[in-house]
Every structure is written in C-alpha cells, then in structure tokens.
Copies of this chain bind each other. A is one copy, B any other.
C-alpha cells in the first residue's frame, strides 16, 4: 500500500523523550498528521547462575507506582553493539559476567508509534563479578528455582519478561 511521508518535525524534547509529528498521504489520498516517538533499542537477558537459579531483578517502577519483577534489562547506548549491551546490563544489574550470549529473539516494541526494538538474549557460562548500579538506580536481585517460574508467571509482569519466562519454560528447562 502506498503511503507517502511528507514532512517530519520534532514537537517536543526533554532529557528522556522526543516526540515527532509527520504529515502522511494515505493510499486514499487523504492527508493525516501522525505522531512518533524517538526510537530506542532495549536488551533483556535470560540468565541462570552456576547453581541453576534464574536471575531476576525487582525494582520500583514510578509509572506503575509499584515494584515488579523483571528479567535484567536496559537501554542500548547510542552506537553500542547490542550483544555488548546485553553483557553490560547483565553484569551491572546482577553482578554476573556471561561467557556466552545468544540472541533469542528481537521484536518491535510498539510499531504504531516508533521503530524501537527489543532484543532478548540467553546468557550462559556465568561468572560472579560484582553489581555496578548507577547512584540513582535501585534494584534487588532475586534468584528463582526453575519450578517457581509458573508462580512467577502469575504475578504482574511486563512484555519482555512474560516472553522470556515462556521461552525459558519451552526451551531452556525441559
């Protein structure tokens, strides 16, 4: 289908976000104004400790006004290699360095408003190092037995985590 992109402008920007509006010509000839968000790349990591425990992080999410449990994750820095970012985020958040990192999947997080991508990795051959959080970052590392994943799936989760836990159930703990 033929869409024509006409003119894009940034209508808002702060430290964390940019919002863009763009004029589009639709296949029926109608002109509409669309809104986009700046694109980000995010990594999430499925990782088991040498003792066979699944590493998760519990953190307060101001937008939810509560704590939820997630897989270790974070933003890829501008220009950073995605696999390196997965390595870095796992070590910063949990204090484990991975010897091997394999991409499990990648997907568009919200294709209606941005080209932001999520990359999910499976980390293997973990070695204990140390956690290295930013001064203003607070999270608690949790370790789950494989048998407790079904219980974890009944708690409030986010998209990357629900995907990762289902993937773990289907492919990693058979």
Nearest Cβ on chain B to A55's Cβ, whole angstroms = 18
Flag whether A144 is at the interface (Cβ < 8 A): no
Say which one of A82-90, A124-132, A155-163 lies at the interface with B. Answer: A155-163
Q: Is the CB of B63 within 8 A of A114?
A: yes
Partner of A68 from the list B111, B160, B167 (CB cut-off 8 Å) is B111
Complex interface residues of chain A between 8 and 38 (CB less than 8 A to chain B): 11-12, 14-17, 19, 21-22, 24, 26-28, 30, 32-37
Q: Is the CB of A109 within 8 A of B111?
A: no
Nearest Cβ on chain B to A105's Cβ, whole angstroms = 6
Q: Is the CB of B14 within 8 A of A65?
A: no
Query: Who on chain B is nearest to A114 by CB?
Result: B63
For this complex, 22 residue pairs linking A to B, each with C-beta atoms less than 8 Å apart, are A1-B59, A1-B60, A1-B67, A3-B62, A5-B65, A11-B14, A15-B35, A17-B113, A19-B19, A24-B62, A26-B136, A28-B138, A30-B136, A34-B63, A37-B37, A61-B112, A68-B108, A109-B158, A159-B160, A159-B163, A166-B166, A166-B170
Interface residue ranges, A against B (CB under 8 Å): 1, 3, 5, 11-12, 14-17, 19, 21-22, 24, 26-28, 30, 32-37, 39, 59-65, 67-68, 70, 105, 107-115, 118, 135-136, 138, 140, 156-163, 166-167, 170
